[in-house]
């Protein structure tokens, strides 16, 4: 009885293995591979041909659907080009997000074109105040310079006191710094106008005459 049972069990195991083998073979028969060699010839085979080794290969089901795709190995040049394209896309995405952020900030800052022009006027006025302050400091430093130069005349034939020499040096540095600051503030007038001109152009572009609330909602999308 044990011998018969063992034999039956062995037959069942063999039948199962055979069924699995047949099933795997049948599944393999249902697959097709498509690829194109370096000469442009298209292959449809049950086993990827050697002509397509290392090239793009598609595994196609019996229904004609692509179930798996194996990309060809890239050359160093192709890999470098892909990395460069990836960096370019990332830079474009960052720039797009930054532009969206700036647009939203602009709409949050100004409620109308008049509001923007009022801000321009305040910025120009603040800059004019800074210019007058620099001019005032330069005038004071120039006056002090004349006083120090007059004092210096007493020491033409004898050593100049260290403090007087230091005061002359500091005075020259102050005049130079204030003049540089004055020039920068004068140039800043043009920069301020250019900034607000661009802000106004962008604001009008974003709003296009629409109510501010609607424009802000649109920028958030």
Q: Specify whether 124 is located in the same domain as 204.
A: yes
- Contact (CB, 8 A) for 145 and 175: yes
Q: Rounded to whole angstroms, what are the CA distances from 118 to 51, 108, 113?
A: 73, 15, 9
Does the residue 10 lie in any domain?
Answer: no
Q: Give the count of beta carbons closer than 10 Å to the beta carbon of residue 72.
A: 14
Percent of the chain surpassing pLDDT 90: 52
Residue 216 banded pLDDT, cuts 50, 70, 90 = very low
Backbone angles phi, psi at 80, to 5 degrees: -65, -40
Q: Specify whether 136 is located in the same domain as 63.
A: no
Q: Average pLDDT of the chain?
A: 81
User: Domain tally for the chain?
Assistant: 2
Q: Enter the pTM of the model.
A: 0.52
Q: Specify whether 63 is located in the same domain as 114.
A: no
Q: Residue 28 has what pLDDT?
A: 44
Does the residue 11 lie in any domain?
Answer: no
Does the residue 148 lie in any domain?
Answer: yes
Residue 4: burial class (beta carbons within 10 Å; 0-12, 13-18, 19+): exposed
- The last residue of a domain, from among 49, 73, 97: 73
Does the residue 146 lie in any domain?
Answer: yes
- Alpha helices per DSSP H over the chain: 2-30, 76-109, 113-152, 162-207, 212-220
Q: Specify whether 129 is located in the same domain as 180.
A: yes
pLDDT in tens, 202-211: 999 999 855 4
Q: Residue 40 has what pLDDT?
A: 80
Does the residue 48 lie in any domain?
Answer: yes
The helix or strand, by DSSP H or E, that contains position 46, with its residue range, turns out to be none
pLDDT in tens, 47-56: 777 777 777 7
- The last residue of a domain, from among 73, 93, 128: 73
Q: Specify whether 114 is located in the same domain as 188.
A: yes
**Across-strand partners of 43?**
35
Does the residue 95 lie in any domain?
Answer: no
How far does Cα 110 stand from its chain's mean position?
A: 26
Q: Specify whether 125 is located in the same domain as 173.
A: yes
* Rounded mean pLDDT, 78-92: 88
| Token code pair at residue 127 | 């800059």
Q: Residue 217 has what pLDDT?
A: 46
Domain that holds residue 61: 27-73
Q: Specify whether 124 is located in the same domain as 208.
A: yes
Report the C-alpha gap between 55 and 179 in whole angstroms: 69
- The last residue of a domain, from among 73, 100, 129: 73
Q: Specify whether 152 is located in the same domain as 199.
A: yes
Does the residue 178 lie in any domain?
Answer: yes
Q: Residue 142 has what pLDDT?
A: 95
Q: Specify whether 216 is located in the same domain as 123.
A: yes
* Rounded mean pLDDT, 22-50: 69
pLDDT, greater one: 40 or 178 = 178
């Amino acid at each position: 009885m044990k011998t018969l049972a063992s034999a039956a069990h062995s037959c069942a195991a063999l039948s199962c293995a055979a069924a699995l083998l047949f099933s795997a073979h049948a599944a393999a028969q249902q697959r097709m591979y498509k690829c194109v060699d370096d000469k442009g010839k298209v292959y449809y085979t049950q086993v990827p041909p050697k002509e397509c080794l290392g090239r793009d290969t598609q595994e196609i089901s019996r229904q004609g659907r692509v179930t798996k795709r194996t990309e060809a190995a890239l050359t160093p040049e192709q890999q470098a080009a892909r990395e460069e394209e990836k960096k370019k896309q990332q830079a474009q995405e960052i720039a797009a997000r930054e532009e969206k952020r700036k647009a939203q900030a602009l709409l949050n800052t100004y409620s109308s074109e008049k509001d923007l022009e009022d801000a321009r006027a305040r910025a120009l006025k603040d800059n004019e105040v800074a210019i007058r302050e620099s001019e005032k400091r330069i005038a004071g430093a120039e006056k002090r310079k004349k006083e120090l130069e007059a004092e210096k005349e007493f020491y033409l034939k004898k050593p100049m006191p260290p403090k007087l020499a230091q005061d002359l040096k500091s005075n020259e540095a102050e005049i130079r710094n204030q003049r540089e600051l004055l020039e920068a503030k004068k140039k800043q007038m043009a920069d301020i106008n250019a900034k607000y001109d661009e802000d106004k152009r962008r604001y009008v572009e974003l709003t296009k005459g629409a109510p501010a609330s609607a424009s802000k909602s649109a920028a958030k999308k």
